[in-house]
Chains A and B, each alone.
Chain A
């Protein structure tokens, strides 16, 4: 009874704290500019199924894809077991679904156990890739500090969690075989769990009853406390992608990657020169700045991208400029965006719901113009991202701000612009000579 109360208190506080932070994230995302992305629902759903659920783009790199798939499927399937743990916790039962589900139950837990072992292998391999093999995209300087710690923490937590699962199931198997388990006795020799049936007796075979109950409870409580902990760790971690990866792929850009957005506010200025009957598309009274200087100038999708980023670095390792030693790193663009957005969110929290100017901005204090001007707009980063994040859009929007609001661009580009304006070509040739090639 007392344990039910403790459990319920834990459950309520863990969920409440999570919802408070989830709401903040939602609010932060909605600080972005409005865009409509609710067309073509079928295609969006299909994209989400393939890219997020089916992990389609991960398989461009098969080895990490398989390892990641172990963790991912274990994570998805374990949710079923979690349901039971929560029900047991509230009601004070032990393995409440077992009697009703019978063979299906045994199968489900066995399946979870096998996935847990695979996830265990995956986790060890990931730790090794990060810390021993030093895969370049996982050890770059931009990951120093929190990002590196974040990645390792979660991997270690995963290992601890899996250990708890096997403590719980293993000890229960031994108890059951001695007829001492609290699980309903269905008159088989064992609970029949694929791994614990063997692992339990190996580890705890000659433990006394009292010890076994303690181990089983440590496993059970450890498991659920890790889960609550993980839930509340998510909002501060790159692991938020396990939730946001789904909506983020749903709201993917469905157009050709080469199509950049058209600024209606610019069209409203330019079009009347060509068509006197042109009707403006934007309202001049709520004019926004051209391009992007700070996170509030980005669209909510850009901000959702930033929260979803897994920091995997696939984008950066495909970036021609990064490969050749330039400062530009599309992953850093996403990480900076998230960091600045978090800062803006904290500012709002500290000031009773309104943002108080802090003299900082995403462009300048986080992302430098050197990075912005290095981009080839080649879309390699967009193509590489396993959850369809678009760092390029942010880069181009910042160029727009620099050029159209600040007239700050590399001087060679000023020449290119003026050639374009005067000669209709980016070089200094006379437009009258445009067809001369045909005579030569």
Chain B
């Protein structure tokens, strides 16, 4: 197979490729869908690695598609470009169906939503979980033991990503894992179903905002910072960018860190 790539193993990470495993006649238990942000954005790459550390730690047999992965098409679809979306989607579906993929974990709620809800109409049927759901599953199965580590006793506020929360009704998985860290989980007034968007969704990430009197991410960061948290926890690389910028806007980056739930788990447990 000309796409074949071989596992990347450095001192911390073991990252197998789908093509390689299949060529060896092995089937991974789960496909880790990294996503564009997780692959290319410097900040999001750290989240990707944190997820890999967790996967390595529990010895789950996973693989990534590597260069065979392409954008799910989410930004094109939300921006109204259904052609481009379907081109991307069908390309990805033919790769994944070719590998007989059954279960997928994504590092991004947008990839999660698109593959889970929109790929079936185009012939892509998989069991899809967001990484916070996988972590929750691993904890519940006793495969992953977590402790608070450096976050013990800290105040953490969780910002719901729209495409995990409202779009798919996943509110508890990230909160349950955060609470396992022995922290004080604070809630903003606008949370869960009433959560306020970070400002990135709907392809806004890729364009200037329309005329108004405030940026959405500033509005949201202000709300989170009013609780004076040590950490704003997020579950989406785009929320991460937006909230990080929002915290910087208020010069609060010394006091308040913006971290993905996967990073919280990996850091607290020295994975």
The chain A residues found within 8 Å of chain B, CB to CB, are: 60, 255-260, 262-263, 266-267, 269-271, 273-274, 290-291, 318, 320-321, 323-328, 370, 373-380, 382-384, 396, 398-404, 409-410, 412-413, 415-417, 420-421, 424-427, 429, 431-440
- Give Cα distance in the complex from A375 to B49, angstroms: 32
> What does the 1/0 interface line of B85-105 toward A look like (CB < 8 Å)?
011101100100000000000
Supply 9 A–B pairs (Cβ within 8 Å), ascending by A: A258-B113, A262-B82, A269-B83, A396-B80, A399-B78, A421-B84, A424-B71, A434-B34, A437-B48
Tell me if B118 counts as interface (CB < 8 A to partner A): yes
Let me know if B82 and A263 touch, CB within 8 A.
Answer: yes
Q: How far is the CA of A409 from the CA of B78 in the complex (A)?
A: 12
CB distance from A288 to the nearest CB of B (A): 13
Q: A-facing mask of B68-80, CB < 8 A → 1, else 0?
A: 0111010111111
Is A438 a contact of B52 with CB atoms below 8 Å? yes
Count B-side interface residues using an 8 Å CB cutoff: 75
B166 contacts A373, C-beta separation under 8 Å: no
B86–A266 CB distance below 8 A? yes
Give the residue of A273, A328, A409 whose beta carbon is less than 8 angstroms from that of B210: A328
Besides the contacts A377-B202, A416-B75, A440-B45, what 10 more A-B pairs have beta carbons closer than 8 Å?
A256-B167, A258-B166, A260-B118, A262-B122, A323-B219, A380-B196, A383-B193, A400-B80, A409-B80, A435-B17
Let me know if B86 and A270 touch, CB within 8 A.
yes
Min Cβ gap B214→A in Å is: 4
| Contacting pair B52 A431 (CB below 8 A) | no
Q: Flag if A425 contacts B210 (CB, 8 Å).
A: no
A265 to chain B, nearest CB (A): 9
A246 to chain B, nearest CB (A): 23
**8 pairs of A and B residues whose beta carbons are closest in the complex:** A258-B167, A399-B80, A424-B70, A325-B213, A377-B202, A325-B212, A259-B117, A378-B197
Contact of A257 among B71, B79, B167 (CB under 8 A): B167
The CA-CA distance from A269 to B90 in the complex, in Å, is 12
Residue of B nearest to A410 (CB): B207
Q: Is the pair B82, A404 in contact by a Cβ cutoff of 8 Å?
A: yes
Q: A267-B122, A435-B39 are in contact. Are A425 and B71 (CB under 8 A)?
A: yes
Q: Is B194 an interface residue (CB 8 A)?
A: yes
CA distance A382 to B194 in the complex (A): 11
B179 interfacial by beta-carbon distance below 8 Å = no
Is B204 positioned at the interface, with any CB of A under 8 Å from its CB? Answer: yes
Most buried by B among A256, A328, A396: A256
